[in-house]
Copies of this chain bind each other. A is one copy, B any other.
Amino acid sequence: MKNTKTPEATDSLDDFQRECVDLFMNAASSLSLPRSVGEIYGLLFSTEEPLSLDDVMARLKSSRGLTHERLRWLRIIGAVRKVSVPGRRKEHFTAETSLRRIAEGYIRDRIEPHLANGQNRLINLEGMVGAVPERESFQRGRINQVMNWHKFLTRALPAIKAIPGKF
């Protein structure tokens, strides 16, 4: 008879893990992220030992493709780290618990690119001002407004790194 089970660690979740999975699933959807992102993060957050892709897949009963996709996203953002487990060939993953680092990654990958793009669009907008002369001053005012936002955000975002304290 062949052994079809993983060597250690059960496939089912304990209460603590179930509750964490649920907690982060909710958090994810209230940030408008896919539920499965929160689900996976919650599992890793509540599990002491690093898990492989197959471990995660088995415990959350989701597909290989999806699990892979979400783990990759979490890794890019910096919410999950790849760790090598001695004696095992598979890649293993563990949760990053520094909110600061996660926020930095999220900002870097999801917000800053849009800010940079917005810069170009602003320049573009300026070329359209004054097609109707009586609206020119209103339109210039609006562009100014957006430039202020832009300036504020490009200053405020890096400031997060400078906030003291552990979080």
Contact = CB atoms under 8 A, between A and B. Distances in A.
Interface string A145-157: 1001101100010
A26 to B, nearest CB: 8
A44 B49 CA distance: 52
A1 interface: no
Interface of A: 14-16, 19-20, 23, 26-27, 30-33, 45-46, 48, 97, 99, 110-111, 114, 117-118, 121, 124-125, 128-129, 131-132, 135, 138-139, 142, 145, 148-149, 151-152, 156, 163, 165-167
A158 to B, nearest CB: 15
Contacts of A125: 16, 19-20, 23
B142 A167 contact: no
Contact of A131 (B14, B46, B118): B14
